[in-house]
Amino acid sequence: MPTIPLDARPPRLRTRLEDSLIRLQTVLRRGIQREATDESLYAQWQGRWADRRDELSRRLTAIDTQLESWEPESRSVPRLAVVSDCEETTMFGFCDESGFGPCVEVS
């Protein structure tokens, strides 16, 4: 009786264990591929964010220099003046109960 070559043998059914192992290997391979893809996407994102951060930094520096150039030269004159007593009638302010608290002149 002649032997049957291996290719001509009818395929046997896989066991549940073999099916589980094949699924596990497939999921593992997909996970490794997904992890590699995620790492490359993260590296691309970091590069884009670094470029954007540098651009924002340059813009903020330019805005700061423009604001400094627009700053008025005379800042020695205050807009509000603090005076001594609350006894005067032209004053508006918050005095304590003794009547000697600080007042702000409104002009």
Half-sphere exposure of 33 (CA within 13 A, CB side): 6
Q: Looking at residues 91-107, what average pLDDT do you find?
A: 53
Q: Where are the domains of the chain?
A: 14-71, 74-107
Kindly report whether the global pTM for this prediction surpasses the value 0.85.
no
Q: Looking at residues 36-49, what average pLDDT do you find?
A: 94
Per-residue confidence (pLDDT) for residue 36, from 0 to 100: 94
Cβ(53)–Cβ(62) below 8 Å: no
| Of 31 and 86, the one with more pLDDT | 31
Residue 59 predicted with pLDDT over 60? yes
Per-residue confidence (pLDDT) for residue 13, from 0 to 100: 81
Residue 4 predicted with pLDDT over 70? no
Per-residue confidence (pLDDT) for residue 67, from 0 to 100: 87
Residues 6+ apart with CB under 8 A from 105: 80, 81, 82, 83, 90, 91, 92, 93
Mean predicted lDDT score pLDDT of the chain: 77
Cα–Cα distance between 104 and 98 in angstroms, integer?
A: 17
Other Cβ atoms less than 10 A from the Cβ of 105: the count is 13
Per-residue confidence (pLDDT) for residue 100, from 0 to 100: 56
Per-residue confidence (pLDDT) for residue 49, from 0 to 100: 93
Per-residue confidence (pLDDT) for residue 14, from 0 to 100: 82
